[in-house]
Amino acid sequence: MIEQRPAFMACKNPGTGWRIDILWPDGETEVIKGFITEHDAAKWISEHSKTWQESPDQPR
């Protein structure tokens, strides 16, 4: 069986700043807000997404 993992995407907020949308395999979406630039959001993804993908106990 292939294990499905969450997908991460940096998205521009309608006003200012950036957020990260996390799409879980069950279709739920989680949002992490508070990034000033796209670079900040992309950096968070590169530093943290692997841990989220490996840990089944990650809070949702």
Q: pLDDT for 2-60, tens place per residue?
A: 567 899 999 999 989 999 999 999 999 999 999 999 999 999 999 998 877 665 555 54
pLDDT of residue 44: 96
- Per-position DSSP letters for 33-48, written without gaps between them: EEESSHHHHHHHHHHH
pLDDT of residue 54: 67
User: C-alpha angle with apex 43: 38 to 48, nearest 5 degrees?
Assistant: 130
pLDDT of residue 10: 97
pLDDT of residue 53: 64
Taking the model in full, what pTM does it have?
A: 0.77
Q: Chain centroid to CA 52: how far?
A: 9
Residue 25 per-residue DSSP state = T
